[in-house]
Amino acid sequence: MYEIAYTLWRNNKKYFSFLFITVFIADCIFGILIISSIETSASKISFLNVGQGDAELITFGSGVVMLIDAGPPNGMVLDALSRVLPIGNRSIDLLFVSHPESDHMGGIQSLLNTYRIGAVVYSGRDGASELWKLTKKIIEEKNIQIISIGSGDRIKTGDSIINTLSPNLSLLNKKETNESSLVLEFIEKGTRSLFVGDSGKMAEANIIRTINGTVDILKVGHHGSKFSSLDQFLHVTKPDVAVIEVGKNSYGHPTQEVLSRLSSIDANIFRTDRDGTVTVELLGDGKINVYKEK
């Protein structure tokens, strides 16, 4: 039994009204956002092999679990999670939805039938598809709290920070939903990781303006589409490790253009279609270990 403190504060008052919430909960009952507890082991980021889609699992040393996206509606997210989570673990503290497209949120319904979800976090941009509408309805019927965040918002757990770099109001209202992707910067133990959803040219320009320095780990945007991971963005962020979440597709992902751009900055490239689930262990002082499933 342990106590969990969830905190969220919002720095951009023009984007969202100011909010500070702290909820203390005992014995694993979930609240609004994240923890304050002593870490007992290294935190890990697992880029899950879910086919042509995105799903990234962050497991903190304290035992807290966060999932960014849930892949397409093909059932692969459940299999991938069972391979990286401890046996019997059926809890996800926070489920982030980068944007409401099926290859990023299609697996949520299967999660809702299998896992206990503390809260769902998204940008506030709703999708027009029936899949999204039904998924959101089920989330609400299960009385799972839905929280919207945007540029300037921050989540803190212990010494770890998750900064929301995008979208701002302008991007949130763009016709192209990819540009309204939730972009999260995860900072822990001297290591900086960046999760960009399907961000394209406009969102990448916004990230460049808001990010402070280079990153160690990049979840490559839009499965390696040539319209993401542009030269200017990569030369500012300069990731050491770049992970492309991709499966069999008719779009030509990942494109040779993106692979060449990543190679030009000497990034170490990993692909879930070839490497399976890719797990990065955060050792501290910027040191990491990378493990491939295949």
Cα distances (angstroms) measured from residue 20 to each of 144, 190, 198: 19, 26, 29
Query: Cβ distance 75 to 51 under 8 Å?
Result: no
Query: Hey, which of 157-161, 206-210, 269-273 has the most confident mean pLDDT?
Result: 269-273
Whole-angstrom distance, CA of residue 97 vs CA of residue 265? 29
242 neighbors 269 (Cβ within 8 angstroms): yes
pLDDT of residue 195: 98
Pairing outcome for strands 116-122 and 145-148: parallel
| Residue whose C-alpha is closest to residue 34's, from 139, 179, 141, 188 | 188
User: Which pLDDT tens digit goes with each residue over 220-244?
Assistant: 999 999 999 999 999 999 999 999 9
pLDDT in tens, 115-134: 999 999 999 999 999 999 99
pLDDT tens, residue by residue, 173-214 = 988 899 999 999 999 989 999 999 999 999 999 999 999 889
- For residue 166, what is the domain's CATH number? 3.60.15.10
The pLDDT value given to residue 41 = 80
- More confidently predicted of 42 and 258: 258
CA pair distance 255, 225, nearest whole angstrom: 6
Count of structural domains within the chain? 1
Answer whether the bond into residue 167 is a cis peptide, omega within 30°: yes
Q: State the DSSP code for 286.
A: T
Q: What is the pLDDT of residue 8?
A: 55
Is it the case that residue 27 has pLDDT exceeding 50?
no
Show the domain range for 54.
Answer: 3-292
Condensed to tens digits (0 to 9), the pLDDT of residues 163-175 reads: 999 999 999 998 8
* Per-residue b or e along 263-288, where b marks 16 or more CB atoms closer than 10 Å to that residue's CB: eeeebebbbbbebbbbbbebeeeeeb
pLDDT score recorded for residue 282:
95
pLDDT of residue 9 exceeding 80: no
Confidence at 1, pLDDT banded by 50, 70, 90:
very low
**What predicted TM-score, i.e. pTM, was given to this entire model?**
0.88
